[in-house]
Amino acid sequence: MEYPKEVLTTSKKGKVEVRSLIDKGEFVQYEYLDPKTGKPTENKSKIILAGNSRREFFAVPMAGGRMLLIPAKGKEEKVNIYNRGSIVQI
C-alpha cells in the first residue's frame, strides 16, 4: 500500500513502519493523597483515556524515568477528583 511519507517512521531495528491512529480524545491523570497529610500515599498515579472508549491505567514509575502502565478495571462510571479546592467529575 502507499502511505504519505509524513506518517512513515523507522524502528530501532531499521524497519519502516506506518503511524496509524487507533483512537484520540482527552485524558486525565491523578494521584492518590493521604487525607490527613495531603501527601501522595504511593508512588503511582492513574490515567484515564477518554476517546471513543474509556480506558484506565495505573502509571507506576520505573528506573530510568520510564513508566509502567498497568490496565485498571474501570467501572465505566464517573469519578470525583479533587482539584485545588474544587471537585472535578471525570
Summarize pLDDT for 36-80 with one digit per residue, the tens: 999 999 888 999 998 888 899 999 999 999 999 999 986 667 888
In whole angstroms, give the CA distance from residue 21 to residue 58: 23
Query: Considering the entire predicted model, what is its pTM?
Result: 0.75
Summarize pLDDT for 18-29 with one digit per residue, the tens: 999 988 899 999
Q: In 3D, which of 32, 1, 34 has the Cα closest to residue 18?
A: 1
Tell how strand 8-10 and strand 67-72 pair up: unpaired
More confident residue, 89 or 17: 17
pLDDT at 35 over 70: yes
